[in-house]
Amino acid sequence: MKYRKSNPRRPMPAHELFEDDLANAQEIFGKGHRRKHDRKLQQLCRQVQRTIGLSLGECGDDLLRDLMVESVTPAPDATRLMVSVLPASAETAAANVAEINARLARVAGRLRHEVALAITRKRAPELLFRVLGAQEVQP
């Protein structure tokens, strides 16, 4: 039996001539699994946003009931999510941000439990809260 020597892959000679075209093609057509991962991450964020919005609406605290969930973003990945909340009325906006943060910290465990019931994952993500002021909201 003869031993066959394997040749390493050599780039085509045109590779050097069209290097910038290949880079553009990688940007445009990149790997598909990355887009799928992003889609699933965005789907998770929407589910968490909907769940927290409903849970805050059913909460017994008037201050928390008046909050709207502006957005949910990964911070830095799906194990930890940043929940941005916005006071819906002027009287809630006038309330101290520290008071809103303290009340959110008090109910964070219950909200995480509600999120765990709403999503299908092995572990529920950790929730971080950020209270937005009127000047921070983007149109």
Within a domain: 5: no
Distance between CA atoms of residues 132 and 82, nearest Å = 12
Of 102 and 2, the structure prediction assigns the larger pLDDT to 102
One DSSP character per residue, 13-62 reads THHHHTHHHHHHHHHHH--HHHHHHHHHHHHHHHHHHHHHHHHHHT-S-H
pLDDT for residue 69 is more than 60: yes
Within a domain: 19: no
The continuous run of DSSP H or E covering 80 comes out as strand 80-87
Within a domain: 26: no
pLDDT tens per residue, range 26-46? 565 555 555 566 888 999 999
Within a domain: 24: no
Within a domain: 60: yes
Q: In which domain, by residue range, is 108 found?
A: 32-136
Within a domain: 89: yes
Residue where the block lists tokens 């019931």: 117
pLDDT for residue 100 is more than 80: yes
The per-residue pLDDT of the chain, averaged, comes to: 80
Within a domain: 9: no
Nearest Cα neighbor of 38 from 22, 30, 113, 118 is 30
Output the pTM of the full model. Answer: 0.68
Q: Using alpha carbons only, what angle is made at residue 17 by residues 14 and 22, rounded to the nearest 5 degrees?
A: 80
The domain total for the chain is 1
Q: Are strands 67-74 and 80-87 parallel, antiparallel or unpaired?
A: antiparallel
Within a domain: 11: no
Cis omega before residue 13 (within 30°)?
no
CATH of the domain at 89: 3.30.300.20
